Amino acid sequence: MENILLTGVAGFIGWKTAEFLLKEGINVIGIDNMNDYYDVRLKEYRINQLKDFKNFKFYKADIENLEAMDIIFQDNKIDAVINLAARAGVRYSIENPFVYLSTNAEGTLNLLELSRKYGINKFVLASTSSLYAGQPMPFKEDLPVNTPISPYAASKKAAEVLCYTYHYLYGIDVSVVRYFTVYGPAGRPDMSIFRFIKWIDEEKPIELFGDGSQSRDFTYVDDIARGTIKALKPVGYEIINLGGGKNPISLKEVISTIEKYLGKKAVISQKEFHKADLKETWADITKAEKLLGWKPEIPFEEGIKRTIEWYLQNRDWLKDIKL
């Protein structure tokens, strides 16, 4: 594959995935609507990193706009689609559920329909571990995830089902990659790692929902990007977990690790646990290892160290980023 259409290219995972593809000499047609769900300066930072590559083409466009997407598909040779464009965030999806359905489900439908129309036979969809709410751990891909507890999770489930429909009807080869909590340099400011680092460094109280015992299968962004690229492999239709795969890490441990590398102590403001959040996530990554030859390489503490180093190098402008 020489030409990849990658949506959500200014997003955290999209940026890193694009960077790895570009370094391999693959042409990347990047799409992003540059919305202001979080501070656009982070998205601009990521896009500026990619613009140095001659094999990168960028369109500021929205996957919800079928007409605009059709023009992009017409104007470019495309061998595969990686759909990382999404409205993310469990809590905000409860406040504004409509935009989650229109982007995550209808936007995915637009891309699938255009893939069918233009004979593009490989489609990678980014999905979420949020679908596993209430299931036994470690989470396996064959668990019945039919009871999503947030509009975000429901919209991602809808996108997965649409992908299966297009695989069944039109033979499109689909890899659905379910991400577990992703962190790293230039991460999203609505995610705990970014927020905790900034708050601790600025000696402001951390907003901690619950008692800190809840845990996540944190996965470094480089590992997620590598797994996403490996998912371009022909598989038929498969759902594949991409996660740390080891024992989940509690938020208390996250905070203490950040304290260690910043050399500062956290001030904690405890909030009530949000009912749409999961208490714990833990990926069974056996399938990813067998099917894709993928497993994470960056240990959590090393990932935190790298993230803090990036933060300190960019603190002059990150100080103005709103959380």
What are the catalytic residues? 152
Tokens of 276: 């749409």
Terminal Cα distance for the chain, rounded: 38
Count CB atoms within 10 A of the CB of residue 38: 21
- Distance separating alpha carbons of residues 285 and 292, to the nearest angstrom: 10
Residue from 72, 175, 56 nearest 118 by CA = 72
- CA–CA distance, 71 with 42 (Å, rounded to integer): 28
Number of CB atoms found within 10 A of residue 189's CB: 18
- CA angle (115 as vertex; 112, 119 as ends), nearest 5: 150
| Peptide bond connecting 234 to the previous residue in cis, omega within 30 degrees of 0 | no
